[in-house]
Amino acid sequence: MLYQPPRPKIPDCSWQRPLGLGWDQPYTVSDVSNLDDGPWQGMPLGGLGAGCISRSSRGDFNLWHLDGGQHIFRSLPACQFSIFEQSENAPAQAYALCTEPPEDGTLSAWQWYPAVRETGSGTATASVPNTGTYHALYPRSWFTYQQVFQTELICEQFSPIWAGSYQETSYPVATFEWTAHNPTDAPITLSIMLTWQNMVGWFTNAIKEPQVGDDGSPVDEYQPRWGDSTGNYNQWIVDSYRVGCLLDRVRLHDQIQEGEGQLCFATVTNPTMDVFYHCRWNPSGSGADIWDTFAADGSLDDTQDETPAAPVEQIAAAIAIRFTIRPGRTRKIPFILAWDFPITEFGQDITYYRRYTDFFGRTGNNTWSMIRTALKHSQLWQERINDWQEPIVHREDLPNWFKMALFNELYLLTSGGSLWTAADEQNPVGQFAILESWDCPWYESLDARRYGSFALAMLWPKLDKAVLEALARAIPIRDDTSRTIGKDTVTAIRKVPGATPHDLGSPKEHPWERTNYSHYQDWNQRRDLPSIFVLQVYRDFVLTGSNDTDFLWECWSAVVETLAYLKTFDLDGDGIPEHSGVEEQISSDYQLQGISAYCGGLWLAALEAAIAIGEILLNNYPPISPLLSAPEPASIQEAIEFYRQWLAQAQPLYQATLWNGQYYNLDSETGSEVILADQLCGQFYAQLLGLPDIIPADCAQSALKTIYDTCFFKFYNAQLGAVNAIRGDGISKESDSSDFLAVSTGINFGLAAFLIKLGMKEEAWRLTEAVVRQVYEHGLQFRTPESITTVGTFSSSHNLGAMGIWAIYLMVKM
């Protein structure tokens, strides 16, 4: 019996959408200044920090994050799969597999795939059948095609991303594995064509001189060289059983620069297949130069032409694989797409090599090596991804919608402007960072990290530790640049020594070296950032087996310095830092006075974590690594004693001042009756890390139940999630701002994690499901926002905080 390759088993828990089915009323942005690309978003392809592309459920490639830290969203129709089919039972037909033709009238000779049509309810009509389904479970997605072709067709897309991989996960590679099954009683001739426009040189900023605003901050003047194809050329490559089109560009200098490199797409062949190619066709015309021959018999005219593109000229390449499937048989055909743009440039002349260059070189000429690697190892990569996902996918105690969102929220690690640099002596796995969002384009915001970093800490802990080590190195740094804060006339210096930075900088400047890019607030005044930093240092130590003392040594001096800095805000010497109003607040709507539930709780938990860290270091003195310096044991012991004294002062004060018998008051002096959804963040971290409770257990239970009942269950019919803050009488706000009506995805996932920790699993699932359905049923998939409102709007899409859903899974595992 001939070997029959298995057909893909698409997990039931994957996110699903009929091909081409739109949304009646997708959520839109709250503020017109925010990014809103619309709901046609698909799962990204490409490695972490390698740049990525994505393909929507219409079938078009439309997201291009190939320039580090920059966002481009626009469909490029010439980048497309097409299918030709013919059999004795049916006439020949050919379709490009996107349900929408180009808006500009190009490629008018092509036949575009029919889509299911929407009705007023957004569902398929009976007269127009579902022509296929898009499925996604990051890092895998599938397109299934039905009711159009006789052949049963599935295209599985993936990049080699799985937990704990610090090599393959960085590769700029996407595999498209086609499975074709003939269910009829007659042979079927099938041809699969992949076309791609030569985009080499497009992904770099055409504006090279830095632009500076009135307040001295860099202005985001980004103008990609989109469409600048002058000097681009395409080559046909035959290498044993591998064939491909290599897309390159004439280089005018020896040293490779940002945006330079190669793209390549390829497949395999054997004597049972016909291979066709066309290396230079016009994607700006009707497309007849390749479509006429392809639609006739699935062939191309085998054109080799390496002539570089003239100014304003556009060129593209195509490969088609034609084969016959006998009745009842199944064939698999892989296509690989790879890109090699090794340089990421930030501010002028500030460049880094990407992580994947540690394995493929830094010349920008290595796409064919990537192709060979992918064709050799794709099956192994699939197995590794499956081995990682399968234990979660098959858990019967987890609902499918949760498993779906758990994996799909990891999309941001690829498409969130992620950076991952080549390794060096100080950074053995490179430096890593993710944007807070595309509307907040600065890296690793600590307030968003308090929950959003759980995914990285659990799955790629070495990268999360690299982020925290970068923050540790930044804590003692001073930056005297004076800036206007927010929209006020108040100015402040950018970075005070000892203050924990809010973020690791921006792609406009020099990430990791110049922190606190955002000037929305004076981050030196924030009372929560130092505590979050300390807690996450100890969290990563605990979650990775409580044995990486070198990591604690790397961060210890920063822990001591930033806690001492935060203590300077304890003006009355009672052991707990106070707030003083408008110059420091956790959002524009909270002008806190005195001690607060949120920041005070984090302070107490951070002191406990610092005590634990100090004791571990004393028990493991001196450091194992000779590269690490360490303070004298006496100074560590002295710091521990200070923390114990402060904790002994602060803990009873916190309880006596803020506990009102039901929950913790917002702060001690404003008299606010607001119930803050995130008031127990410090207690959550303490319990997670096995530290002593910072508040009595019965108070934590009461406060959490109050938050659940008031902020979620009685709010908006428990359909939206837990509102950030609300009064117990249901009045939603105490100011003219609409922020109180917002439901923050990250905070909700953190809240749900704590509900599970305290045994309220049913409540946790109900809360989490409400948030997940808001995202995935209203066109917010693969662009999860920071918050959603009661009027169907959102803010700050592609937000780091939403990966906090992994905190829920951590609580389920424990």
Summarised one tens digit per residue, pLDDT across range 293-319 is 999 999 999 999 999 999 999 999 999
Provide the pLDDT for residue 740: 44
Tokens 């698409």, residue located: 10
The secondary structure element, H or E, covering residue 343 is strand 343-345
DSSP code for 61: E
For tokens 């397109």, what's the residue?
143
Cα gap 576→599, rounded to integer Å? 9
Predicted pLDDT at 582 = 57
User: Rounded to whole angstroms, what are the CA distances from 160 to 85, 176, 420, 561, 809?
Assistant: 31, 12, 16, 40, 23
Residue with tokens 């009685």: 714
In this structure, is the dihedral angle defined by the CA atoms of residues 10, 11, 12 and 17, taken in order, positive or negative? negative
The answer to whether 805 and 406 have CB atoms below 8 angstroms apart is yes
Q: Residue 73: helix, strand or coil by DSSP?
A: strand
CA dihedral (721, 791, 585, 730) in degrees, to 10, reads -60
Residue with tokens 């935060």: 566
Q: Which residue has the tokens 């490969």?
A: 319
Q: What is the dihedral of CA 641, 642, 648, 652, to 10 degrees?
A: -160
Q: Identify the DSSP state of 687.
A: H
Quickly list H helices, 234-366: 288-297, 357-360
Q: Flag residues of the chain having pLDDT under 70.
A: 1-2, 117-128, 209-220, 582-590, 731-740
What span, in angstroms and rounded, lies between the C-alpha atoms of 760 and 767? 11
Name every residue whose Cβ is closer than 8 Å to that of residue 509 and which is 6 or more positions away in sequence. 218, 346, 347, 350, 517
Cβ–Cβ under 8 Å, residues 58 and 40:
yes
Q: What is the DSSP letter of 1?
A: -
Q: Could you give the CA distance from residue 136 to residue 155 in angstroms, rounded to a whole number?
A: 12
Cα distances (Å, whole numbers) of residue 380 to 160, 176, 374, 534: 9, 14, 10, 39
Q: Residue 98 — φ and ψ, nearest 5°?
A: -125, 140
Evaluate if pTM is beyond 0.85: yes
The one-letter amino acid at 556: W
- Structure token pair of residue 506: 């921006």
d(CA 110, CA 293) in angstroms, rounded, equals 11
How far apart CA 189 and CA 326 sit, in angstroms, is 9
pLDDT for residue 2: 63
**426 touches 420 (CB < 8 A):** no
The full length of the chain comes to: 814
In sequence order, which residues have a C-beta less than 8 Å from that of residue 662 and are 6 or more positions away? Answer: 702, 703, 706
Q: What is the 3 state secondary structure string of 511-573?
A: CCCCCCCCCCCCHHHCCCHHHHHHHHHHHHHHHCCCCCHHHHHHHHHHHHHHHHHHHCCCCCC
312, containing H or E segment: none
Residue 660 token pair? 């009102």
Amino acid letter at 533? F
Pairing of strands 28-29, 793-795: parallel
Instruction: Report d(CA 220, CA 22) in Å as an integer.
Output: 32
Beta-sheet strand order (sheet of 90-96): 90-96, 80-87, 188-197, 316-325, 274-281
Q: 703 with 664: CB under 8 angstroms?
A: yes
> Measured between alpha carbons, how far apart are the two ends of the chain, in Å?
48
Instruction: Report whether 143 contacts 132 (CB < 8 A).
Output: yes
Q: Are 266 and 375 in contact (CB under 8 A)?
A: yes
Place of tokens 């593209």: 316
* C-alpha to C-alpha distance for 155 and 45, rounded to whole angstroms: 14
Beta-ladder partners of 132: 145
- Cβ 144 vs Cβ 133: under 8 Å: yes
CA angle 676, 454, 799 (to 5 degrees): 70
- Tell me, what DSSP letter sits at residue 309? P
Whether 516 and 494 have beta carbons less than 8 Å apart is answered as: yes
**3-state secondary structure (DSSP) of residue 29:** strand
Q: Based on C-alpha coordinates, what's the Rg of the chain? A: 28
Rounded Cα distance between 808 and 181, Å, is: 40
If residue 756 lies in a helix (H) or strand (E), which one and from where to where? helix 745-757
Q: Are 803 and 456 in contact (CB under 8 A)?
A: yes
Please check whether residue 153 is in contact with residue 180, taking contact to mean a CB–CB distance below 8 angstroms.
Answer: yes
Q: Which token pair is 653?
A: 């004060």
| Amino acid (one-letter) located at 719 | Q
Q: What is the C-alpha separation between 658 and 329, in angstroms, rounded?
A: 71
Q: Six-digit token pair at 602?
A: 């984090």
Which DSSP string do the residues of 344-383 spell out, in sequence order?
EE-STT-EEEBTTHHHH-SSS--HHHHHHHHHHHHHHHHH
Closest by CA to 143, choosing from 305, 295, 8, is 8
Question: Residue 520 is which amino acid?
Answer: Y
- Give the Cα separation of 319 and 511 in Å (integer): 40
Best CA proximity match to 704, nearest among 755, 666, 643: 755
